[in-house]
Amino acid sequence: MPVMSTRITVSLPEREYAALSALARQYDVSLSWLTRKAVADFLKHHDEGKDNTSGNLPLTQQEECK
């Protein structure tokens, strides 16, 4: 049975978008694939207790804009 996916929309600062686009071209993958990989890696890292960002979440809009 296929795994169901949910579509989301994310707005990124131009600098982050450009960096992701460059990585996607470098590795010949889509932006969608690269974003899914980044989210999966973040969640795995967070679940394993290796990520110290849990004390900083949720981000405020001011922090996101820095």
For the entire predicted model, the pTM comes to 0.67
Look at residue 48 in the predicted model and tell me its pLDDT. 73
1 has pLDDT over 80: no
Band the pLDDT of 17: cuts 50, 70, 90. Answer: very high
Confidence grade of residue 49 (pLDDT, cut at 50, 70, 90):
low
Dihedral of CA atoms 48, 54, 58, 61 in degrees, nearest 10, equals -110
Instruction: Copy the structure tokens of residue 42.
Output: 């973040």
Which amino acid does the sequence have at 27? Y
